[in-house]
Amino acid sequence: MPYLKITTNVPVTDPQSLMLLSEFSKLMAQQTGKPERYVMIELMENKAMLFAGTNGPLAYLECKSIGLTETQAKSISAAISKALKENLQINGDRIYIEFSNCPGEFWGWNGSTFG
The catalytic residues are: 2
Three-class DSSP labels, 51-82 = ECCECCCCEEEEEEECCCCHHHHHHHHHHHHH
Hey, CA dihedral for 34, 24, 2, 59, is it positive or negative?
positive
CA distance 54 to 51: 6
CA distance 25 to 33: 12
